[in-house]
Amino acid sequence: MMQIDEIDNINQQIIDDDDNAAIIDSDASDIDEEEASPLLSALDDLESRVVTALNEFKSHPGTVGSTATSAGSVKQSIHQELASILRPVVEVSAHTGPSTARALASSYPQNYTIEMCVDEIYTRINSELILPVILESAQSDTIPAKRSASLALFHTLHSEWCKAGSYLDGSTSAPSLAGPYGPGISPGSGHVSAPPFNPAEGQRRNQIKSARRAELLRRWVQSAIPNLTPGTFTNATLDASAAGRGVLSASAALKPCLRYMAERIGSADDAGALRLFLPVMRMIEGVLGRLFLERTRGGESTSMDKKGQVEGDALRSSCIKFLEIVVLCFSKKELPFQAASRMKKDNVANDFSLEDLPPGHPIITRESLEEIGDYAFSTLRGLVLLGGQAAIDPNLLLAAAASSSSGSNFMGGSNPFTPILDILKPAALAFLNFETDAEKAEAAGGDKNAFTLDRANIELDFGLSQKSYSLSINAIQMLATKRPVYFKESSVCLARRAIDPPGTSDNDGVLLSKAAITGIRTHLRSSCLTLLRHFLSVTSGSWEVLADALKQAGMETQADRALKASKQQLNLMKGGRAARNRAAVFYEWDTSADDSRAAKRQRDTDDAQARVRAAKMARGLGSGIQLPTSMVDACELVLLNLDNLPPKRPPVASSKQRKQPIDLDFVVDAVVSNGASLTMEENHWYDRDGGDGWAIEEGEVGEDGRPVLTFKMNSSVLDAGMKIAQGEKVKDTEKAFAEQSKLASSMAFSRVLMSSSNARSSAVADFGKQIAARLALTLEGVKAASEIERSHVMTVEAVESSIKKNAETEEELAGALEFALENPLVSSSLAYDLTPKGLSSDENDVSNAAASTSALAMRILNEAYVCSFNEDKAKYEKCLDLFVSSVVNACDLSNQNPKDNERKRIANAAASSLPHQLGAAPFLTPSSLNLVSSLCDIDEVVKKFSTKTPSQTIAEAAAARTAKAAAEKRATAALLILRDVAFQRDALRGSAVDCAVAIASGRLPASAQIEDKALKLVMNVIFPKNVDCADKVITSGAKELEFATRFAIENHEKIKKANEASARKKEKHGYSSKSALAPQSDEEKQALDRVRKPVVLVMALAVRRPEIIKAIMENGCRDGADVLAKAIRTNMPKLARAAATKHGAAKIAVQVADMASEKEAPLLICFLDNLVTAADKSLPSQELIDACQEIQKARLDADGKPDIRYIMPVVSGIKRVELLKELPDFVKGSDEILKTALHRMSERLGRYSMIFRDEPDPTENTLRGMSSCEQMVYLHQLDFHAIGIPQKRYLDVIRVCLEDDEVFNDRVVQAALDYISGKFLEGESLPLAYMRTIILTCSKHESLHSWICHVLLPRLVEGQVHSDKRQWEGWMRCAKMLENTGDQGISSLEAIEKLPEEQKKMYRAKYPKK
């Protein structure tokens, strides 16, 4: 095999043999060396290091070196020796290369950027050198050890590239310092300030990083696949060794590949994920084939002899480990209780489950992968229960082996999962058949734990050795704990095998010795004991079979203790904090432990409880003690603190002491209220328990031994209340009572609300919020207490802010504001959970837990909905508007101050729960949807947080990015709400679609990214849902187009004046507009940006519903809507291209022409014009030409003749013969029409502009279009008398063409005049305007003077131009103009001298020689 450094030698030899090679002297060489690029020098140095190492690796014989080792040193294996040889390759690839790039960029900042250096070094060193060479070695090297080293190198490269400073750096948090672009140090090594960072540059770097990661993973997978192919080596031992290394490489590559595919799917790069997915599926198929298809392929002995089984056991062990990884990755991770959140934090970087795979990919779906995982798990269970693989139907094995070798599945499908299932499914079903039969026998016997297999009649394809058996048991045990969905099946499998262990059947003795059987039995029992200790054994109900298996093995005591421990663990997980604090958890696994040890632990527990009790007593009442949930603990705490009460009561506002006994209620109130009840105002006639208005009397003792209690209201209090309720005149004392009642109600409501929010029990919290919701709507006019007044103020401010933002719903929101002012308790309740409390972390957690259990706002809404049946119908709608306004305001406050973590937490929680809350609401209103849409108004926020300053720190930049992402997430949640309403609530579908379309069209404010998401939501989600949704989208689009039209008309005069002022300014400075569709002023530019979005949206809808094009043209042609018409013309190419692709250019042209009126003709012509230009460089199709001609015939001009404008778009495809017939009609039109028609005729004939083409076949006219030269010729040859145009128009047409010197330049005019003069020599007469054109050409193009003097004028003399009096007169005038030009060598004297004598005298008589 050719060495890498031989390539340079061959190239040098080729240069030496080249006679034309440049001769390089020594001086020039020295100069080149001095001026050599530092980057190229560095690249050469790095390449030389890599090439040296790769050459040494390539030339290695594959055996351990014979060099003697030093005393005491350990001799290296062949794999260690090859790894040490390749170590420089790893260093250069992962670390030296990036560090060299950083050094070059910092040393030569004027010459190189860091991106340039990194990209160049990566491409030259990794993409073009290391990865291809290592891949080639891993796939085709003839020495297995070198193949193994190459496979291992990919794993090493992946690990090294992920370290700090390398290409796949994932440990550096600052984007500007991550990867090879930063200092290259690991986090924590030192503080390095992050430089300013451009988000666009960050996105580019992430894309490059993803591409490099994909390249490495793809080559890694490609390197493993050939080693898994049977027959890689003819020697069976070498083939199994290579396959084993391939399986190990596949095991290491599987999870990184799956994580990359999940990232690509999450980024909507379905194609990028699929490019890696297909090789990964082939890799999995190859590993499974080496495990299950070897018998069919002849790779193992078909008999169950010991020699044939042992030879393939090493490979089989690797395959079983790989099968475990497949099950782990292709299964779901679902855990009950709090264990889910804990385990999700464990091994996140090293684990992968189906929850990590985003949905949405058409091929890579969770369901398909889960099916593979289920069959693989069944296969693993079969290996454990049977001690090997149950014999598979040979026909299925042959078919699967054939499909695996051919690369396609034997069922003829194209699904990439089918080849894998073709292998796994028969293997799993072979075991499941035996399991089903045994379970049926178990059901018939009545013993639910009895499970007996007739192992004598079970034929195995292969058996397991002790190593592979242990791996299988470990795999089942690991899957039980890591994937609880498999816990019960795993437990049953291990328990059944422990009950019927190896050694009970003759088949078990093939590969297992007596020592191995004993080890496996012990392994099975320990696995059962481990699973029994797990709390999932109790929740899944598998503890019975596990305990039974251990009891049959003589481990009843250990099983009882393990079961007790698992139940205690489960109780602790379910219990509260008090239960965990009181728990004395210890295990007595050793029955020989003495009693002193247990007694010591009990004493420690008692001392701990005494210390806790003493600490409670020491804290006293002043620390704000909260009563425990348990009533026993609460009573104990109160009694312990009785001694801590102050000897005297605190002073009160009044000098008169209130007489109240100090009883248990008094103490409990003091504890619960943190001492606030002790300082209660004496002016308040009520106390915390409802006041003195109620009296309690005890009656006789009943049969149950309890006295009968009677509650009575004070008569004076009742009379005062009745008077106030009926509006009668009251006394001052009664008036004071009314005020005190409202104050008491406010404070009582505040206590109820705060107690329910701080309650630890979810049931108490829910009950308290039910009471608060009923009271809030009942106590109308009661002011909010000081504790919750902040929430009321926030609600009022939120509604006022919403009124300013939403002018369309101002009336509804004004009613909601009035309702909030009249019902402060309602507004306070709706915004209570959205108001920062300033609590400690523990109190905050409690509040959040209660709020998540029962949302107070939803209680208010439900109560208002019930009240709206009998009272105010609009009460619910007003409450809904208040609630949504509060959520929007909370999000706005969070956007304004991103550093406020409390507001950020509240905003995120409110926005994330809003879709669920509105989904559960009885009904919604259009005004509430408009308020939800205002969550998308984050444009200023995005711009603010996207702008970076040089003084911005890393923390500030990270906070800004986080705030921006949170705002976009909340805006996306608003779009999801609109989607759900459109799909689930038919009555509000139109309003939801109106809001979504308004956001997409830019009428409702939103950021650019959210507008794009809204557009995708409307077009790709809502519109295709059903016909009604599509109709609603079209209706909303028409409304937005109408809004845009009104905007254009209202701003017409303003834009017109601005354009005129801008035109005068440009004319003053000599500027001219290059495009007619470009905005002429800043005002017009802003207006175009405003109307462009609805135009684009409606055009996108028009592609699917062409009848909408009528509305587009109709609105664009309204008086004053000039800016809208300009926006339509600007985007017309997109509409025409998409409509032609979907419906066909000819069909859509006729359809749109039938819909357009005469007023809309300009936009119709624009549409037809873009239909042609959309066809790239090809000529218009004949169908489109026929369609335009049909349109022309149907649409007549003012004279009743076919309007020529409708065929102008397709004249480039019309035959030249037919264009000659249409040319007079173009000439009769205006100059603009003529110039447009001439331009369209020649637009596809740029190379023929100076040529008059002749028909290839004179008998058949095939030439299409008309070149510029041909146009000039045919315009001269027009018979203006015959076509009915004045001579003046005939001459003006040619003059117009000559003035357009960009099209009809001097070469085109020369070619036309030359052609006409040639025909004149052949006998044709000169056109009337011919000499006039020559005279005009002399005035316009001095470059043609020489040709006219020396070629054209003599040629005309030769053709006897003097025979035509008119042409002769023109000839003499032209000759006179050029006779004395002043240019050396340019004069018409030569042509004059060639005149006949008579004509010469005539010329001199008219123009004497000076």
Per-residue DSSP letters for 517-584? HHHHHHHHHHHHHHHHHSTHHHHTTTHHHHHHHHHHTT-HHHHHHHHHHHHHHHHHHHS-HHHHHH--
Locate all alpha helices (DSSP H) within 779-896, ordered by sequence.
789-805, 810-822, 824-830, 841-853, 856-867, 875-896
pTM of the model: 0.52
Answer whether 1102's CB lies under 8 Å from 1112's CB: yes
HEC profile of 652-663: CCCCCCCCCCCC
Residue 446 tokens read as 């009545």
pLDDT one-digit tens code per residue, 1064-1097: 887 776 666 556 778 888 888 888 888 888 998 8
581 or 270, which is more confident?
A: 270
Of 1272, 1344, 1336, whose CA–CA distance to 1306 is shortest?
1344
Distance between CA atoms of 794 and 1346, rounded to whole angstroms? 88
Residue 336 tokens read as 């009950």
Distance between CA atoms of 536 and 534, rounded to whole angstroms? 5
Distance between CA atoms of 909 and 900, rounded to whole angstroms? 14
pLDDT at 588: 35
Range in 255-259, 1064-1068, 1161-1165, 1352-1356 the model is least confident about? 1064-1068
Given a cut of 50, whether residue 1345 has pLDDT beyond it is: yes
pLDDT one-digit tens code per residue, 1010-1022: 988 999 999 889 9
pLDDT at 1307: 92
Residue 874 per-residue DSSP state:
T
Tracing tokens 């050795």 back to the chain, one arrives at 465
pLDDT at 648: 62
Helical (H) or strand (E) element with 463 = strand 460-463
pLDDT at 340: 40
Given a cut of 80, whether residue 1184 has pLDDT beyond it is: yes
Reported confidence tier of residue 34, pLDDT bands at 50, 70, 90:
very low
Residue 1180 per-residue DSSP state:
P
Given a cut of 70, whether residue 336 has pLDDT beyond it is: no
Residues 6+ apart with CB under 8 A from 995: 929, 930, 932, 933, 978, 1004
Given a cut of 80, whether residue 659 has pLDDT beyond it is: no
pLDDT one-digit tens code per residue, 88-127: 999 999 888 888 888 888 888 888 888 888 889 999 999 9
pLDDT at 1069: 67
Distance between CA atoms of 1276 and 1294, rounded to whole angstroms? 7
pLDDT one-digit tens code per residue, 674-721: 565 665 554 454 544 444 556 667 777 777 777 777 777 666 667 777
Given a cut of 70, whether residue 48 has pLDDT beyond it is: yes
pLDDT at 6: 38
Reported confidence tier of residue 844, pLDDT bands at 50, 70, 90:
very low
HEC profile of 314-349: HHHHHHHHHHHHHHHHCCCCCCCCCHHHHHHCCCCC
Given a cut of 80, whether residue 373 has pLDDT beyond it is: yes
919 or 1178, which is more confident?
A: 919
Number of H helices, E strands in the chain: 63, 4
756, amino acid identity: S
Mean pLDDT of 260-271: 88
SS3 9: helix
Mean pLDDT of 391-412: 57
Of 237, 348, 218, whose CA–CA distance to 283 is shortest?
218
pLDDT one-digit tens code per residue, 181-209: 776 555 444 444 445 556 777 788 888 88
Per-residue DSSP letters for 1243-1288? TT-GGGTT-----SBTTB---BS--HHHHHHHHHT--HHHHT--HH
pLDDT at 218: 92
pLDDT at 342: 41
Reported confidence tier of residue 528, pLDDT bands at 50, 70, 90:
very high
Given a cut of 80, whether residue 831 has pLDDT beyond it is: yes
Residue 184 tokens read as 């290259």
Label residue 992 exposed, middle or buried (CB < 10 Å: 0-12, 13-18, 19+): buried
Residues above pLDDT 70, as percent of the chain: 77
pLDDT one-digit tens code per residue, 24-33: 333 333 434 4
Per-residue DSSP letters for 726-789? HT----HHHHHHHHHHHHHHHHHHHHHHHHHHH-SSHHHHHHHHHHHHHHHHHSTTPPPPTTTH
Of 101, 114, 116, whose CA–CA distance to 46 is shortest?
101
Of 842, 843, 963, whose CA–CA distance to 892 is shortest?
963
HEC profile of 634-658: HHHHHHHCHHHCCCCCCCCCCCCCC
Residue 980 tokens read as 């759900």
Mean pLDDT of 69-83: 69
pLDDT at 377: 92
pLDDT at 279: 92
Distance between CA atoms of 526 and 781, rounded to whole angstroms? 70
Cβ count near 355 (within 10 Å): 13
Helical (H) or strand (E) element with 1334 = helix 1330-1340
Given a cut of 70, whether residue 619 has pLDDT beyond it is: no
661 or 729, which is more confident?
A: 729
582 or 258, which is more confident?
A: 258
pLDDT at 1173: 66
Instruction: For the chain, give the mean pLDDT.
Output: 78
Q: How far is CA 799 from the centre of its chain?
A: 34
- 1150-1156-1157 Cα angle (round to 5): 135
Reported confidence tier of residue 657, pLDDT bands at 50, 70, 90:
very low
Answer whether 473's CB lies under 8 Å from 524's CB: yes
Distance between CA atoms of 756 and 98, rounded to whole angstroms? 59
Reported confidence tier of residue 1312, pLDDT bands at 50, 70, 90:
very high
Answer whether 446's CB lies under 8 Å from 463's CB: no
**1062-1098 core/surface letters (b: 16 or more CB in 10 A; e: else):** beeeeeeeeeeeeeeeebbbebbeebbebbbbbbbbb
Residues found in the chain: 1410
Given a cut of 60, whether residue 508 has pLDDT beyond it is: no
Helix, strand and coil in the chain, % to nearest 5 = 70, 0, 30
Label residue 1024 exposed, middle or buried (CB < 10 Å: 0-12, 13-18, 19+): exposed
Reported confidence tier of residue 773, pLDDT bands at 50, 70, 90:
confident
Residues 6+ apart with CB under 8 A from 1265: 1179, 1211, 1212, 1213, 1214, 1216, 1219, 1241, 1242, 1243, 1244, 1245
Of 1168, 1268, 1181, 1284, whose CA–CA distance to 1225 is shortest?
1284
Given a cut of 50, whether residue 347 has pLDDT beyond it is: no
Residue 1202 per-residue DSSP state:
B
Residue 430 tokens read as 């072979």
Residue 841 tokens read as 């972390």
Axis-axis angle for helices 954-984, 989-1001 (nearest 10): 140
Mean pLDDT of 1191-1218: 82
Distances (CA, A) of 1146 to 125, 457, 1212, 1225, 1290: 55, 74, 16, 24, 35
pLDDT one-digit tens code per residue, 1234-1266: 888 888 888 888 888 888 988 888 888 888 889
Given a cut of 80, whether residue 611 has pLDDT beyond it is: no
pLDDT at 781: 81
Helical (H) or strand (E) element with 697 = strand 694-701
Answer whether 812's CB lies under 8 Å from 925's CB: yes
Given a cut of 70, whether residue 1120 has pLDDT beyond it is: yes
HEC profile of 959-1003: HHHHHHHHHHHHHHHHHHHHHHHHHHCHHHHHHHHHHHHHHHHCC
